[in-house]
């Protein structure tokens, strides 16, 4: 039996979770949801398909939603999903389940993992001690999740109707005018023109012009550019000035590149 985990990650939390789960599964491949969607159907009765990604605005990142909607999954596939968030998971798994149900696919196992947040526009990551505690607790929960998935465990989505309606409406409001959201990005005089922000952007929203990053107004709001800038030159207006940056200590830029194809 073979397995494929499709992931999307900004700080590396989801990628690290995917890597950890893959160690419990046979012949497991990890593929980024920023890669081209497979032309042929995936999965089958002897396959495991997983989705690992963060919660954005109480729901699915736009990129993830579009990827799953277009992915052709064969009937009888054992599918699982693991999301991670800093505060509240919203109706993310319910959204995913709804998309898969339209394809005739059952979401067999789901889990939510609390991890350090990356939304530096609103808050900064926890201090060192709290960070280490969250990562330790997260690893423990992912270990248990991986063992359950490897045994084809069943843990369906649980969501009450009122909460689903409230979070879905809020999700739509929060994603309004997303194309203009990147207008407040700036790179200050710490910028060394290394180009890493353009390299890590999952939707190719950054171009380097005259040795300076320029955002192209089709942003995913993932904040990879801010979190992975080696000199902390990128700011979102004045909101992020002086705030700590965060990316998972076990993940590197090269890890994103390795799993892209």
Which CATH number do you get for residue 150? 3.40.50.360
User: What burial letters (b/e) apply to 80-92, b meaning 16+ CB within 10 Å?
Assistant: bbbbbbbeebbbb
**Residue 189 belongs to what domain range?**
178-255
Asked if residue 147 belongs to a domain, the reply is: yes
pLDDT for residue 227:
95
Q: Do 182 and 155 fall within a single domain? A: no
Q: Do 6 and 70 fall within a single domain? A: yes
Rounded to two decimals, the pTM is 0.94
Q: Do 146 and 203 fall within a single domain? A: no
In 3D space, the residue among 198, 259, 254 whose CA is nearest the CA of residue 229 turns out to be 198
Boundary-marking domain end, from 104, 138, 167: 167
Q: Do 85 and 9 fall within a single domain? A: yes
Instruction: For residue 142, give both structure tokens.
Output: 């992912």
pLDDT for residue 78:
97
3-state secondary structure of 239: coil
pLDDT for residue 160:
64
Q: Do 104 and 6 fall within a single domain? A: yes
Q: Do 185 and 236 fall within a single domain? A: yes
pLDDT for residue 194:
94
Q: How far apart are CA 80 and CA 156, in angstroms?
A: 9
Boundary-marking domain end, from 113, 148, 167: 167
Boundary-marking domain end, from 140, 167, 194: 167
Q: How far apart are CA 96 and CA 91, in angstroms?
A: 9
Q: Do 13 and 49 fall within a single domain? A: yes
pLDDT for residue 156:
94
| 107-114 and 78-85 strand pairing | parallel
Domain count, the chain: 2
Cα 16 to chain centroid distance, Å, stands at 11
Q: Do 185 and 134 fall within a single domain? A: no
pLDDT for residue 148:
97
**Whether 64 contacts 6, CB under 8 Å:** no
Q: What is the CATH number of the domain that holds 221?
A: 3.30.70.20
pLDDT for residue 169:
74
Q: How far apart are CA 17 and CA 137, in angstroms?
A: 12
CA angle (30, 31, 33) in 5-degree steps? 140
Tell me the per-residue pLDDT of 91-106, one tens digit each, with 9 for 90 and over: 899 999 999 999 999 9
pLDDT for residue 177:
76
Q: Do 23 and 95 fall within a single domain? A: yes
Asked if residue 261 belongs to a domain, the reply is: no
**Whether 6 contacts 51, CB under 8 Å:** yes
Asked if residue 16 belongs to a domain, the reply is: yes
Asked if residue 244 belongs to a domain, the reply is: yes
Sign (positive or negative) of CA dihedral 57, 67, 236, 55? positive
Q: Could you tell me which residues are beta bridge partners of residue 49?
A: 4, 79
Neighbours of 65 (CB within 10 A): 18
Asked if residue 199 belongs to a domain, the reply is: yes
pLDDT for residue 103:
94
Q: Do 127 and 7 fall within a single domain? A: yes
Q: Do 139 and 182 fall within a single domain? A: no
Q: Do 161 and 190 fall within a single domain? A: no
pLDDT for residue 190:
95
Query: CB under 8 Å to 95, separation ≥6 — which residues?
Result: 59, 60, 65, 168, 171
pLDDT for residue 41:
96
Asked if residue 172 belongs to a domain, the reply is: no
Per-residue pLDDT of the chain (261 residues; tens, 9 = 90+): 799 999 999 999 999 999 999 999 989 999 999 999 999 999 999 999 999 999 998 889 999 999 999 999 999 999 999 999 998 888 899 999 999 999 999 999 999 999 999 899 999 889 999 999 999 999 999 999 999 999 999 999 987 666 677 677 777 777 777 778 899 999 999 999 999 999 999 999 999 999 999 999 999 999 999 999 999 999 999 999 999 999 999 999 888 777 765
Identify the H or E element spanning 31. Answer: strand 28-32
pLDDT for residue 57:
84
Q: How far apart are CA 52 and CA 33, in angstroms?
A: 10
Asked if residue 260 belongs to a domain, the reply is: no
pLDDT for residue 218:
92
């Amino acid at each position: 039996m073979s397995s494929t985990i499709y992931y999307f990650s900004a700080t590396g939390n989801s990628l690290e979770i995917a890597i950890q789960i893959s160690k419990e599964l046979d012949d497991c491949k990890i593929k980024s949801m920023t890669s081209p969607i497979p032309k042929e159907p995936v999965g089958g009765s002897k396959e495991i398909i997983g989705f690992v990604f963060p919660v954005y605005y109480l729901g699915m990142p736009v990129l993830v939603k579009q990827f799953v909607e277009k992915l052709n999954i064969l009937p009888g596939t054992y599918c699982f999903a693991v999301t991670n968030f800093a505060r509240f998971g919203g109706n993310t798994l319910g959204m995913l389940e709804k998309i898969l149900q339209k394809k005739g696919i059952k979401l067999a196992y789901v889990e939510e993992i609390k991890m350090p947040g990356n939304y530096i526009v609103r808050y900064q990551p926890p201090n060192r001690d709290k960070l280490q505690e969250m990562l330790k607790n997260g690893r423990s929960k992912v270990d248990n999740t991986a063992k359950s998935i490897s045994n084809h465990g069943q843990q369906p989505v649980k969501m009450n109707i009122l909460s689903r309606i409230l979070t879905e409406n809020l999700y739509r409001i929060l994603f309004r005018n997303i194309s203009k959201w990147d207008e407040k990005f700036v790179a200050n005089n710490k910028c060394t023109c290394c180009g890493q922000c353009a390299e890590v952007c999952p939707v190719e929203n950054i171009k380097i012009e005259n040795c300076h990053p320029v955002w192209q107004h089709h942003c995913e709001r993932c904040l990879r550019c801010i979190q992975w800038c080696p000199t902390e030159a990128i700011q979102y207006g004045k909101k992020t000035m002086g705030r700590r940056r965060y990316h998972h200590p076990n993940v590197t830029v090269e890890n994103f590149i390795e799993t892209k194809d």
